[in-house]
Structure 1
Amino acid sequence: MTRAQQQGGFALITSVVLLIGLTVVGTVAVRNAGFELRMSENHIQRVEALENSELPRRRLGDIVDQHIYARGWPTERGGKVLKRDFLFDIPDAYSIADLAEDKEGPRWYVTNSECEPAAQCALPATDDMDTKARFNRNIPTGIGERTRPVAAQLGVFKLRTDLNPGAGTAMVAGYEGLGKSAAAGGARILFHLESRSTSSRTVRTSAQQDVAGRAITAATYRHVVRN
């Protein structure tokens, strides 16, 4: 074997090794880029699901407040309360569950549908909570005229009714009959408001399944009885 042939063989081996090394590096880089892309998609998905859950819940307290104040639902929503007596326009994006034209509709301030009639029960788990309202709306994304759908299931659970801190029952010893009232602070009704939503985008997993992000937000709402 001549010296030129030896050098040619060495160059071939070196080229093959370098090619294999570059292939490995390229494969790892592509896999890392794919992982980072999926991580970014998952993060966006979680943030979007959280926003989709929080947005509907913000106005839910206003609906609860006026529903209790009016003791019912407005006529345009199938209730029996005149519009002039229902001082809050329920946004079109909200629909009230179990509200039909032939009945007064649900009374969130009386009892919880998750409990037995005329009975109290503990706050149920999220999956056991009834849907009291729904939210469906397309909101702008800020990119041209693009919009994204926002859908959420809303839960309302009455926790308890008690006196506000600092309030007392006026003249308990002397007025046990009619005329007895709460003084200095009034009464309040506490509710657990919950919103359950998913992300409008999906992420394809290694199992070739499209999985949507889910978010649950909740808060305790206090209604001060004023009528």
Structure 2
Amino acid sequence: MRQSFTARRQRGIALFVGMVFLLVLSVVAVMAMRGTLTEMKLVTNSARHEAAFEASEALRSVPITLFDQHVFERGWPTAFNGTVPDSDFTFSTQLAPSLYSKMKASLQTDCAGAVSLFYGTLQADCKGMPAETVYDPATWHPDMVIAVCDPSSTSCSANISSTITIVPDGSVLAEGAGGAQAAGYRGLGIGSAGGGAELLFEVRSVATVPGNGVDTTHTQYHQQIRN
């Protein structure tokens, strides 16, 4: 009877020790799993942020293309309610017709209801938004809202989008303008003609990608005007 009691007692202790080890291993496994999930979330968030940054940078170049072509052609294309034939804009031959139409449809209207072509003055309060001020991006009204397809998706759902805002930020004489004036030419206008001028714009792009990835890029754009 004593041996049987001792054996049962040993089996009880072994069971208790085994349960303790099982509990410790379970806690270790749960902690390892939580660490893995946290790392996966960090990697996913980093990937979404990188995708949003790339989308913001890429789509911000769309209105810049319009800027450059507008200055070179001295006007806007007829597709954008301008007077210059579409065929004269080189980007119309470089872009797919679908994207060309999307660019036109992406343009927003200003407080007067006219299509916003970026060179307008700061807008007053309208459409539920406050009056624009140059150094407060929260007040800027959108000039273009463009959406494109996610290249990693099998279906085109236009789930990558960017809201682009452009506000004028003054103008300066370009290098050479003052030099032309100092060299003996008379008048500010002649000095400006000699070196040209630069129009300054603040360009802000807020992009969103699948998975609620959001990123904002902001730059100052210098538009050179020469005669």
Q: State the TM-score, normalizing by the size of structure 1.
A: 0.75
Gaps of 5+ in 1: 116-120, 202-211
Aligned to 1:208: none
Change (3 A) 1:130 1:197: same
Q: Are the equivalent residues in 1 in contact too, given 2:205–2:218 (CA < 8 A)?
A: yes
Higher strand share: 1
Q: Would the aligned equivalents of 1:57 and 1:195 in 2 still touch at CA under 8 Å? A: yes
Compute the displacement of 1:174 (Å). Answer: 7.0
Partner of 1:3: 6
The alpha-carbon deviation at position 126 of structure 1 amounts to 2.6
Matched residues, number: 207
- Aligned residue in 2 for 1:45: 48
Please report how far the alpha carbon of residue 85 of structure 1 lies from its aligned counterpart in structure 2 after TM superposition.
4.7
Deviation at 1:138, TM superposition (A): 0.9
How large is the RMSD of aligned CA atoms in angstroms? Answer: 3.2
1:136 aligned to 125, 128, 147, which one? Answer: 147
Task: Compare relative contact order (CA 8 Å, sep 6+) and give the higher one, 1 or 2.
Answer: 1
1:162-201 matched pairs, under 5 angstroms? 162-168=172-178, 170=180, 175-176=186-187, 180-201=190-211
Instruction: Report 1:1-227 matches (<5 A).
Output: 1=2, 2-70=5-73, 72-89=75-92, 91-92=99-100, 93-94=102-103, 95-98=106-109, 105-113=115-123, 122-141=133-152, 145=154, 149-168=159-178, 170=180, 175-176=186-187, 180-201=190-211, 212-227=212-227
Q: Distance in 2 between matches of 1:47 and 1:105?
A: 32
Q: Secondary structure at the match of 1:168?
A: helix
> Is the Cα contact below 8 Å between 1:191 and 1:220 reproduced in 2?
yes
| 1:56 counterpart letter in structure 2 | L
Q: 1:136 to 1:7 in 2, by over 3 A?
A: same
- Higher helix residue share: 2
Change (3 A) 1:36 1:221: same
The aligned residue for residue 128 of structure 2 is none
CA shift digits 1:130-176 (9 cap, x unpaired): 111122111423x8x57673200111111111211232275588744
TM-score (norm 2): 0.75
Cα distance between partner residues in 2 of 1:107 and 1:154? 12
Separation of aligned partners in 2, 1:114 and 1:66? 28
Q: Decide whether the 8 Å contact of 2:122 with 2:133 is kept in 1.
A: no
